[in-house]
């Protein structure tokens, strides 16, 4: 009997492969990106109180009964719930994946914890009638989780494809790339303050509660954008000179294109009365840019990978 149970246990462990973790991490990252985008739509379409109850949408109904505001907010709740389950499952798989760095598994656990924390934070946000500080915290936590999940997914893909990563090695280029990640997160944060100071209240049945002055927030946000763009451009130029034609160099070029698009969209929305549709595009690009910059920085810091030998590397 004990032998049979041991065989079943070994078979369960064998069923969890590096490829399984890779697929789980990619799916989770996609869902977390959707959480950011749909969460932005909730605020921008004034659907923040479309579902006045938590966790149900209406007092006597789980699903929305009337109105597009309720549908938009409930859709975000559903996607967030699926993302929470996916993040938790990915963390569980990570701890059972052979050959995976232990730090990556803990990173997946941190992403799962941040996703779970969105549930009570969302409930509190609704309970306090969309307090702008809570709404902004809700968004920034989602972006932070995307950043962590991007790092985890980078390692998951490398591990799933049999690549052994070095380091991290903190060369000057890696340090600049890490600074660009920090600058990108500062850019996202200052952008959240611009939205909090702007005209989008998040719901139609309440006065606009703003944080700070819109023009002051925009002033800071623009300078954060210039700082990030400059840092990342330096990284892209260095990659062009040292590693032309490699995947990391092509990804850095994609990041530059995204940055230029983001700057253009930001300028357009500022000069055209902040239409919510354009701001929604701005949010989507921001989430994509965070993923791109984190992956580029990770590829630089962990050096050129090599194929795994027959003997699996030690878990660290």
Walk along the chain (316 residues) in steps of 10 and give the mean pLDDT of each run.
45 70 96 93 80 72 72 87 95 92 95 93 80 87 96 94 82 95 96 82 57 88 96 96 91 96 92 87 95 96 69 41
Residue 281's closest CA among 29, 248, 228, 272? Answer: 272
Cis preceding-peptide flag for 243 (omega within 30 of 0): no
pLDDT, residue 124, reads 86
State pLDDT tens for residues 5-45: 444 445 445 558 899 999 999 999 999 999 999 988 888 88
Tell whether 70 is covered by a domain: yes
Tell whether 278 is covered by a domain: yes
- For residues 136 and 275, is the Cβ–Cβ distance under 8 A? no
Helix (H, G, I), strand (E, B), or coil: what is residue 131?
Answer: coil
pLDDT, residue 260, reads 96
For 192, other C-beta atoms within 10 Å of its C-beta total: 23
Produce one character per residue of 91-104: b if its CB has 16 or more CB atoms within 10 Å, e if not: bbbbeebeebbeeb
Write the CB contacts of 7 (distance below 8 Å, at least 6 apart in sequence). none
Range of the domain at 127: 15-307
How many domains does the structure of the chain reveal? Answer: 1
């Amino acid at each position: 009997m004990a032998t049979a149970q041991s065989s079943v246990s070994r078979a369960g462990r064998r069923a969890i492969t590096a490829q399984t973790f890779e697929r789980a991490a990619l799916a989770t990252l996609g869902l977390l990106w959707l959480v950011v985008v749909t969460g932005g739509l909730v605020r921008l379409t004034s659907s923040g109180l479309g579902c006045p109850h938590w966790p149900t949408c209406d007092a006597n109904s789980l699903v929305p009964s009337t109105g597009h505001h309720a549908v938009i907010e409930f859709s975000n709740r559903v996607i967030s719930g699926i993302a929470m389950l996916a993040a938790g499952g990915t963390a569980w798989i990570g701890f059972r994946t052979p050959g995976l760095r232990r730090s990556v598994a803990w990173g997946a656990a941190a992403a799962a914890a941040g996703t779970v924390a969105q549930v009570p934070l969302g409930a509190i946000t609704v309970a306090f009638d969309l307090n702008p500080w809570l709404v902004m915290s809700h968004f920034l936590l989602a972006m932070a989780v995307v950043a962590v999940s991007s790092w985890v997914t980078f390692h998951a893909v490398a591990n799933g494809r049999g690549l052994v990563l070095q380091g991290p090695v903190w060369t000057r280029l890696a340090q600049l790339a890490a600074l660009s990640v920090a600058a990108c997160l500062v850019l996202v944060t200052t952008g959240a303050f611009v939205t909090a100071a702007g005209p989008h209240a998040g719901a139609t049945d309440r006065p606009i509660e703003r944080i700070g002055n819109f023009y002051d927030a925009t002033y800071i946000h623009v300078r954060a954008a210039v700082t990030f763009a400059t840092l990342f451009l330096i990284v892209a130029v260095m990659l062009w000179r040292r590693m032309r034609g490699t995947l990391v160099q092509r990804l850095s070029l994609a990041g530059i294109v995204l940055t230029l698009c983001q700057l253009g969209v930001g300028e357009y929305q500022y000069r055209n009365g902040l239409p919510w549709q354009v701001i929604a595009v701005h949010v989507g690009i921001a989430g994509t840019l965070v993923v791109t910059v984190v992956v580029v920085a990770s590829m630089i810091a962990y050096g050129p990978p090599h194929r795994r030998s027959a003997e699996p590397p030690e878990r660290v």
